[in-house]
Amino acid sequence: MEETVRQLMIRKFGRVIDLEALQTLSVNTTLEELKIKKLRKELSNAKEMKMWEEKIAQMRWELMMKTKEHTKKLHQMNDLCIEKKKLDSRLNTLQNQQQGNAFQGPRKADIVAKEKVTELIQVQAERILALKEEIALLRKKGGLILPPIHP
């Protein structure tokens, strides 16, 4: 049988072919297809990884910018709270001073009223003095002196 195979090989191919060597040299198409498919998948995965890494870098940048913005706003809010505290303190001080002045207001009114009463007393004292002089003059002349009429 080996001799017939050898003769057939010579007729068909023109020489004897080593079938074992041919099998090791022949390409396994399924294996090659799987290798190509694997390379394509690796390339696709690499592209997707690159896209995700870029997206992550972009998100980190946006996060950093938002963090800076919010930090700036927190500092502004802190400054406003400090200013509000100062203004509240100043307002309380001014209100306390005005309350103190509120008690001084009637004192000023009391002073004015006291001055008016003093003037009235002085005018009445002058009138009493004038009336006393008139009474004394009338006594010297011998006139009749009537008691004062009260209204």
127 and 95 in a common domain: no
Split into its structural domains, the chain has a count of 2
User: Which uninterrupted H or E stretch holds 12?
Assistant: helix 2-13
Q: Based on the domain organization, do 89 and 119 belong to the same domain? A: no
**Shared domain check, 78 and 48:** yes
pTM of the model: 0.42
Q: pLDDT by residue (tens digit) across 141-151? A: 765 666 666 65
Same domain, 8 and 66: yes
Per-residue pLDDT, 30:
84
Whether the CB-CB separation of 135 and 145 falls below 8 Å is answered with yes
On whether both 44 and 4 belong to a single domain, the answer is: yes
Q: Please check whether residues 89 and 135 belong to one and the same domain.
A: no
Q: Looking at the structure, tell me whether residues 77 and 53 fall in a common domain.
A: yes
Spell out where the chain has E strands: none
Together in a domain, 96 and 128: no
Same domain, 69 and 121: no
What's the pLDDT tens digit per position in 83-134?
A: 999 999 999 998 888 776 655 556 777 888 899 999 999 999 999 998 888 8
Could you tell me the residue range of the domain that residue 16 belongs to? 1-100
Q: Is residue 150 part of a domain?
A: no
For residue 149, tell me if it sits in a domain.
no
